[in-house]
Structure 1
Amino acid sequence: MNSSKNSSRGRQQRKKTTSNTSKPTFHSKKKFTKNFKDKPTYRRERPTSESKTTTSKQLKKPDESLGIRLNKYISNSGICSRREADVFIKAGSASVNGKLITEMGYKVMPGDVVKFDGSTISPEKKRYVLLNKPKNYITTMDDDRGRKTVMELVANASKERIYPVGRLDRNTTGLLLFTNDGELAKKLTHPKHNIQKLYHASLDKKLAMSDMQKIADGFILDEKRVLVDEISYIMNQPKSEVGVKIHSGRNRIVRRIFENFNYSVVKLDRVLFAGLTKKDLPRGHWRHLTELEVSTLMML
């Protein structure tokens, strides 16, 4: 029994010794200071033809997104349609950075100056929004005193930034036009173009016929002559309800006219502006102008 146990122990020891000797042992530091040739090298794989194609496509995308075709640029400026723009381009009506462009598909890049018939144009689409302004809103882009502004009422009317044309004071209601067309806005507010506005004024007392005549004849206010285009009582209304048509753009001019003759304006509503009316436009609501309305404004 003892001899068999000894023999089995011997086999186990030999087996253990054999397994230990099969593992590599490093006793010298020289093993860690091998020549660099023995180290594995990592080479960057060359792109295949498929990856080259993908890369080139990826590089082209940002380039295409930088520019906008000239015909679309002109169309977005509100001058005409793309098809019509192509005709104008061929005819030599457009230039980019001072160079006449007649080729189709030409791309305008950011920072380029584009002119159409000699006038610089913008690719932003022109917007024309008409608001029936309610009371207690001020005509300004923002207010540092936290008061309500007309911009809150037309916040969803356009993606483009639009501006009020002229002003209506806080307590005056009625028609107010908004647009990003600077040339038209200037035209509608400049005195020389005589853009008419019609107001319905509710006075604190009846307007005497003599005072109405004085207003119609014209008078001096703050050392400047005031002329109204028309003034009359509102039909089928008390004589405290008066209609005034005027083209002056002076600040609070209608209120000041009546104050000059000792009347207070209780309510003031602008019912007509440059031929535009409040028809089917409830108070506090807005609408986009029709193409016909825009064309009419352009011809004023």
Structure 2
Amino acid sequence: MHHKIRLNHYLSNAGISSRRKADQLIQSGAIEVNGKPVFKLGTVISTKDVVRYFGSKIKYQNKIYLLLNKPKGFITTTRDQFHRKTVMDLIPCFYGYRIFPVGRLDNSTTGVLLLTNDGYIAEKLTHPKYRIKKIYNVSLNKKIKNEDLDKIRKGKIYLKEGKVKVIFIKKNASNQLEIGLYIGWNRVIKRIFKKLNYQVTRLDRINFGGLSKKNIKIGNWCLLKKKEIENITK
């Protein structure tokens, strides 16, 4: 069944780019629809139209949403120049589909990771304005002092990007914590505790925008329905 869709949405659905970058591609003249270059932003096309990107035909793809419980020792990228293990080694191969991880988890960090071929949803899940909640279990190399806990809770920690605001932080054991935040700065949790002279020995993301790994064993994955993902970004 064919339907009408904005050209920039079509391009992000095809895994070519985010919607914002798709607008730049359209303005640059790199996109042709039915053999003619299209420059106008907001152009609406049909899914039966033939779209080409620098001469190559683009296929409108079904969307795949895959929730992985990432183990240690895998890097969050689609390929690695040093031939290290990546999260793509843990999921099935969907031939012809450009699936990629949404955001990053460090090599040593475990837990909830979403992989998809939906550029539009990926952008919404990583853009700060949508305030996607992330919850982590954190283990430290030593017992945390209550005054350090208060510094984090009251927003008294500053990193190069600015003040660190957390949604909550609670102690599960003397050196184990649960922390919730909206910010997605690079290695933010490790940097928070390094600033207070602690080392994070284990970091596990237990929730990402309401998506939990509770029924998924480490290293395993499950497929999600589009409406489960859309609920996150409402």
TM bracket (short chain): 0.7 to 0.9
Higher helix share: 1
Specify the alignment match of 1:247 in structure 2. Answer: 182
182, 194, 201: which one aligns with 2:119: 182
CA separation of 1:227 and 1:100: change in aligned 2, threshold 3 A: closer
1:1-300 matched pairs, under 5 angstroms: 70-71=2-3, 108-111=48-51, 123-156=60-93, 160-218=97-155, 219-222=157-160, 224-234=162-172, 238-299=173-234
The 8 Å contact of residues 129 and 157 in structure 1, kept in 2 or not, is answered as no
Higher strand share: 2
CA separation of 1:71 and 1:221: change in aligned 2, threshold 3 A: closer
The 8 Å contact of residues 206 and 239 in structure 1, kept in 2 or not, is answered as yes
1:290 maps to a residue whose letter is K
| Cα deviation code 1:163-221 (max 9, x no counterpart) | 11000000000011011111111111111111110000011111111100001111212
User: Aligned to 1:206, what secondary structure does the other structure show?
Assistant: coil
TM-score by length of 2: 0.75
CA distance in 1, matches of 2:227, 2:190: 33
CA separation of 1:241 and 1:100: change in aligned 2, threshold 3 A: closer
CA distance in 2, matches of 1:229, 1:158: 40
User: Aligned to 2:136, what secondary structure does the other structure show?
Assistant: strand
2:112 maps to a residue whose letter is L
Q: CA deviation at 1:296?
A: 0.9
User: Aligned to 1:254, what secondary structure does the other structure show?
Assistant: helix
The 8 Å contact of residues 233 and 241 in structure 1, kept in 2 or not, is answered as yes
CA separation of 1:298 and 1:220: change in aligned 2, threshold 3 A: closer
CA distance in 2, matches of 1:281, 1:107: 35
Number of residue pairs aligned between Structure 1 and Structure 2 = 198
CA separation of 1:184 and 1:144: change in aligned 2, threshold 3 A: same
Q: Percent identity?
A: 42
| Higher-Rg member (1/2) | 1
Task: Please give the root-mean-square deviation of Cα atoms over the aligned residues, in Å.
Answer: 2.9
Show structure 1 runs of 4+ deviating over 2 A.
Answer: 69-74, 96-101, 106-113, 155-159
2:160 maps to a residue whose letter is D
Structure 2 unaligned blocks of 5 or more: 14-32
The 8 Å contact of residues 130 and 233 in structure 2, kept in 1 or not, is answered as no
CA distance in 1, matches of 2:187, 2:213: 21
TM-score by length of 1: 0.59
| Cα deviation code 1:134-189 (max 9, x no counterpart) | 00100111111111001111233675221110000000000110111111111111
Specify the alignment match of 2:25 in structure 1. Answer: none
2:207 maps to a residue whose letter is L
2:93 maps to a residue whose letter is N
Higher relative contact order (CA 8 A, sep 6+): 2
The 8 Å contact of residues 197 and 245 in structure 1, kept in 2 or not, is answered as yes
CA distance in 2, matches of 1:203, 1:232: 13
CA distance in 1, matches of 2:111, 2:127: 20
